[in-house]
Amino acid sequence: MTLRIEQSQDPTDDERQAIRLPLRAYNASKAGVTVDEPIALLVRDEHDDILGGLYASVFYQWMYIELLSVPEHARGQGLGSRLMQMAEDLAREKECVGIWLDTFEFQAPGFYKKMGYSELGHIADYPPGHKRFFFQKRLINDV
């Protein structure tokens, strides 16, 4: 079998899935089958417009918080803390081991530390001149 590598200039979802499928099969052979379960907590205004919220997914009994956005006029009023607490409650209901997330230094690393998350590490100069932090919070203690 002859293999070659080519760059796709505008990758399609089908190409992504073609790469993902054998990786998921391998992962399942080592760690068992899991299903990626998306979760969204939406912040809406009186007109039912979405102004922010939290978007996460549960995979292999860990919740990954991909997005947390609090409307600027509502910051400092506990809305972010409520969203995080709701996510933690959902993660516990789903028997997650923990929650992980990433954030830029100009976003909210102090907020996550205040919420009990511990830093796993960071990448310097991502974006250039800044850091990208990775945090976790275990919900189930190590055995």
Domain CATH for 100: 3.40.630.30
Q: Supply the range of the domain harboring residue 118.
A: 36-138
Whether residue 15 lies inside any domain: the answer is no
Whether residue 7 lies inside any domain: the answer is no
* Closest of 54, 66, 56, 136 to residue 98, by C-alpha: 136
Give the global pTM: 0.89
Whether residue 14 lies inside any domain: the answer is no
DSSP 74: G
- Whether the per-residue pLDDT at 108 is higher than 70: the answer is yes
Report the number of distinct structural domains present in the chain: 1
pLDDT per position as a tens digit, 121-141: 999 999 999 999 999 999 987
DSSP 37: E
Whether residue 16 lies inside any domain: the answer is no
pLDDT per position as a tens digit, 8-44: 999 999 999 999 999 999 999 999 999 899 999 999 9
- Measured between alpha carbons, how far is residue 44 from residues 19, 38, 66, 79 in Å? 37, 19, 19, 12
Asked if 53 and 20 touch (Cβ cutoff 8 Å), the reply is: no
Whether residue 55 lies inside any domain: the answer is yes
